Structure 1
Amino acid sequence: MSVDTVSLTGWGRTAPTTALRFRPRTYEEAAATVLGCGPRGSIARGLGRSHGDAAQNAGGSVLDMTALNRIRTIDAGTGLVVCDAGVSLHRLMEVLLPLGWFAPVTPATRHVTVGGAIGADIHGRNHHFSGSFSRHVQELKLLTAEGEIRTVRPGTDLFDATAGGLGLTGVILSATLRCHRVTSSWMSVDTERTVDLDDLLARLSTGDHRYRYSAAWIDLLARGRATGRSVITRGEHAPRYALPAHARRTPLAFRPGQLPVAPLLVPEGLLGRTSVALLNELHYRSAPRYRVGELQKLPAFFHPLDCLPHWNRIHGRGGSVRYQFVVGHGQEEALRRIVRQISRRRCPSFHAVLKRFGEGDPGWLSFPMPGWALALDLPAALPGLAGFLDSLDEEVAEAGGRVCLAKDSRLRPQMLAAMYPRLAEFRSLRAELDPNGAFRSDLSRRLSL
């Protein structure tokens, strides 16, 4: 097992802290690390795609789980997969797609581990259809503070605390997943432009039920009558017969493209208000008003930014803040107010996405709930950003909504109970399972989790 001292951040590259990083290669090595972690505790870490500080532990231990990356069994008939927590969704796709199976839920990057996907209870474009990632977990193996490996299944308090629990109930070692059957590695995509936010909400409300996957890029710099204008992309897995002749020969091929692995050097301030406004205008104007049945490869539809290995540097040395919140159905006016505030402030977000969530998930700290989720990237160095986002937090909480903890690096602890009504149960179970605080993170200390 390798050990080194490292400075770590989230994908947003803010709030760096230093910790001892252990890279266990066996379950026994992981248990030994947890049992010997010292007074600052330990936290599991995958591929570092969480935007905030959930996988950092200043002065303590961090378990890099990426060496525990075996796919143990695959049932090609049922789509049941047993794999270690360090297996990435990218690796799952490489192995499963040729067999006709696909990950049940994928976020905007495939470079996340299965353990991280459960710990953050990730969601994707299909939440209204399939729910979050943990809904497709049949069981998991959890390493507890005492060094015991427990089998945890849905319907138990421990599962509900672990799904979305950000690694604070223990170290996820492996999981059994139910995957989704597909007949090709292509998507059939429908695209349409909307003129404003009300048009967007109406189209998502009336049309999402016809699609497995749906999301909208939204222009948060547009103002006046164009406030909230957007481009909706919705899709289904394309059947083999719909593919062009050359693709039918290898319908399940998975060959994601990527630019050369070299630092993406973006001058500080390149994506300011003017440049983002121009990019947004180009994006909106170049999108079709209405187009159906366009064939796209899976990576182009789900993970377009993965072709840029260091796209998190796009906002320069100061890093970025990923702000994501959800408000319930019936709270559309709160969403309108927030979008108008962001628009009036001229926040330069080039990557803003609105989704319609379906039924909530059982995780006590899981982010999704029925309603409208908006995510946006902002330069961390934007003047007055902290106070502005604090004011948005208050609007979200007043509307009965919540901020996504897996992407957070700045939420005030006093806002947490209003956003997550089962917080007290989570804290109580954690105190019972881990009275000496073997599992801690920068996020858990900041929010008193």
Structure 2
Amino acid sequence: MAEPLSRQQCMRAVPGALPLIARGRGRSYGDSALGPQVLSTRYLDRFHDFDPETGVLCCDAGVSLDDILRTFVPRGWFLPVMPGTRFITVGGAIASDVHGKNHHRDGTFSAHVASIRILLGNGECVGASPSDKAELFHATCGGMGLTGVIVSAVLRLKAITASDILETRIKTPNLDAVLEAFDAHAASAYSVAWIDCMARGTHLGRSILVMGEQCTEGPLVAQQVKALGIPGEMPSGLLNRAVAKMFNAAYYGRTRANAQKSRKPFESFIAPLDAIAGWSSLYGRPGFLQYQFVLPKASGADGLREILQHIGQSRLGAFLAVLKLFGDANANPLSFPLKGYSLAVDFKAEAATFELLDVLDSIVAAHGGRLYLAKDARMSEAMFKAGYPRWQEFEDVRARWHAHGKFMSTQSRRLGLA
């Protein structure tokens, strides 16, 4: 693995180390940051400029979202889009075009990126933005590192007067009820639902809708995360279907029927799993797969119902499942979100899981949906090209900007990209 200490070292490393893929902090769940050769951006971690009047920040691609929050929240600035962890890099957030619990209002991470600098396969380092080299910019945002190495970015932070989130939790008895609740509360700044994938019959899709608003008064604090550790690797049989059903029933049952409001630090609202170090070890040595898809809103209810029925009828346990309402798609050819519903479900990695996911793939495809590249570890080439119909446009841009044969990952080869 190459670990350049500066942009200049990065520029020298790339021409002699191709084909390669850039790697930030290695938080992708699949093989998107694995490849013939890997270039780490971990030491490209400097802030370059910040305008305290506008919130415009220029930083290296290896800066983490945690670095930004701890530095700028106390000054009254926040990231407009936060995924489920703060421990990813700016470059990774752009390459995956990550989304958060506010996509329905604020779009993806790239909507708040003013410009990037990217190292191309011919050794040239160029700037790109929505108005300058726009095709390169849009292909890079969501392009999984396949257009080049992002070395820096200019971000637009948002002003806040308090760092806490006012959370509201609403209990919904089934899938129709939670989808109706999403629409009824579409004006909420943040919204996400925990959904019980094990429930069946009249309880199919029962959920707890969680909404959030930025507090206007209070402290401006970014807490140092002190994660609780998992004591070693758990037995692989610990998380089974019976345990999942009991856990989900208890979690749903402890929430009161009436709306519950509470004030929370943004860390526990935005990224609760960051507080549990090594949480993935709960799945034992085989590990886990997260299956995340999005369905268009027109067919989303039917598709979700069919998928939940298959999960409920399987012998697998599904513990962590998150449902989100997405807003409009953007101009990036490989960006994941489209207007509709996204469901992310964690499964233990075992043979039966792969068999079930093949079935779910066919349902997602039949309803015009797609899978999330940043969470993917097993998508087929056919599934990718059906779900991302602009893939050829993406490849054409890569060809024009010297990326073919020079930037590739284990994932890109599996998906049939040059």
Instruction: Identify whether the pair has TM-score above 0.5, normalized to the shorter chain.
Output: yes
Contact 1:34 1:438 in 2 (8 A): no
Contact 2:196 2:321 in 1 (8 A): yes
Deviations 1:215-259 (A, max 9, x none): 00001011111111111110011111xxxxxxx4xx002214423
**DSSP 3-state at the match of 2:310:** helix
Looking at structure 1, the residues matched to 57 and 24 of structure 2 have their Cα atoms a distance apart, in angstroms, of 19
Deviations 1:414-435 (A, max 9, x none): 1222111111111122223236
Q: How does 1:300-449 map to 2 (within 5 A)?
A: 300-331=268-299, 332-381=301-350, 383-434=351-402, 437-449=405-417
2:195 is aligned with 1:227 = no
Number of the residue aligned with 1:53 = 31
Looking at structure 2, the residues matched to 65 and 257 of structure 1 have their Cα atoms a distance apart, in angstroms, of 22
Q: Offset at 1:261?
A: 5.6
Tell me the TM-score normalized by structure 1.
0.90
Number of the residue aligned with 2:4 = 24
Contact 1:191 1:289 in 2 (8 A): no
Contact 2:147 2:403 in 1 (8 A): no
Q: Offset at 1:338?
A: 1.0
Number of the residue aligned with 2:153 = 175
Identity %: 40
Number of the residue aligned with 1:192 = 170
Number of the residue aligned with 1:121 = 97
Deviations 1:172-196 (A, max 9, x none): 0011111121111111011011101
Contact 1:264 1:308 in 2 (8 A): no
Q: Offset at 1:323?
A: 0.5
Deviations 1:95-120 (A, max 9, x none): 11011111111111111100000000
Looking at structure 2, the residues matched to 196 and 226 of structure 1 have their Cα atoms a distance apart, in angstroms, of 5
Tell me the TM-score normalized by structure 2.
0.96
Contact 2:324 2:343 in 1 (8 A): yes
Root-mean-square deviation (CA), in Å?
Answer: 1.4
Contact 2:116 2:150 in 1 (8 A): yes
Contact 1:190 1:290 in 2 (8 A): no
Bigger Cα displacement from structure 2, 431-440 vs 97-106: 431-440
Amino acid at match of 1:30: C
Number of the residue aligned with 2:190 = 213
Structure 2, unmatched stretches of 5+, are: none
Amino acid at match of 2:72: L
Number of the residue aligned with 1:4 = none
Q: Offset at 1:387?
A: 2.6
Q: Offset at 1:170?
A: 0.3
Looking at structure 2, the residues matched to 448 and 107 of structure 1 have their Cα atoms a distance apart, in angstroms, of 28
Q: Offset at 1:264?
A: 4.3
Deviations 1:338-375 (A, max 9, x none): 11111111431211000000011211000000000000
Looking at structure 2, the residues matched to 185 and 289 of structure 1 have their Cα atoms a distance apart, in angstroms, of 28
Number of the residue aligned with 2:13 = 33
Number of the residue aligned with 1:245 = none
Looking at structure 1, the residues matched to 99 and 358 of structure 2 have their Cα atoms a distance apart, in angstroms, of 24
Number of the residue aligned with 1:137 = 113
Amino acid at match of 1:29: Q
Looking at structure 2, the residues matched to 72 and 427 of structure 1 have their Cα atoms a distance apart, in angstroms, of 32
Looking at structure 2, the residues matched to 96 and 263 of structure 1 have their Cα atoms a distance apart, in angstroms, of 34
Looking at structure 2, the residues matched to 436 and 444 of structure 1 have their Cα atoms a distance apart, in angstroms, of 11
**DSSP 3-state at the match of 2:101:** coil
Amino acid at match of 2:73: L
Number of the residue aligned with 2:216 = 239
Count of residue pairs the alignment pairs up: 414
Give the 3 Å change call, closer, same or farther, for CA 34–257 of structure 1 in structure 2.
closer
Looking at structure 2, the residues matched to 236 and 169 of structure 1 have their Cα atoms a distance apart, in angstroms, of 36
Number of the residue aligned with 2:235 = 267
Structure 1, unmatched stretches of 5+, are: 1-20, 241-247
Give the 3 Å change call, closer, same or farther, for CA 370–263 of structure 1 in structure 2.
same
Number of the residue aligned with 1:243 = none
**DSSP 3-state at the match of 2:185:** helix
Amino acid at match of 2:215: A
Deviations 1:15-67 (A, max 9, x none): xxxxxx111111111122211114xx11101111111110001xx21111111
Q: Offset at 1:292?
A: 4.4
Contact 1:258 1:307 in 2 (8 A): yes
Deviations 1:55-97 (A, max 9, x none): 001xx21111111111111112111111100011111100110
Contact 2:136 2:401 in 1 (8 A): no
Give the 3 Å change call, closer, same or farther, for CA 265–384 of structure 1 in structure 2.
closer
Number of the residue aligned with 2:77 = 101
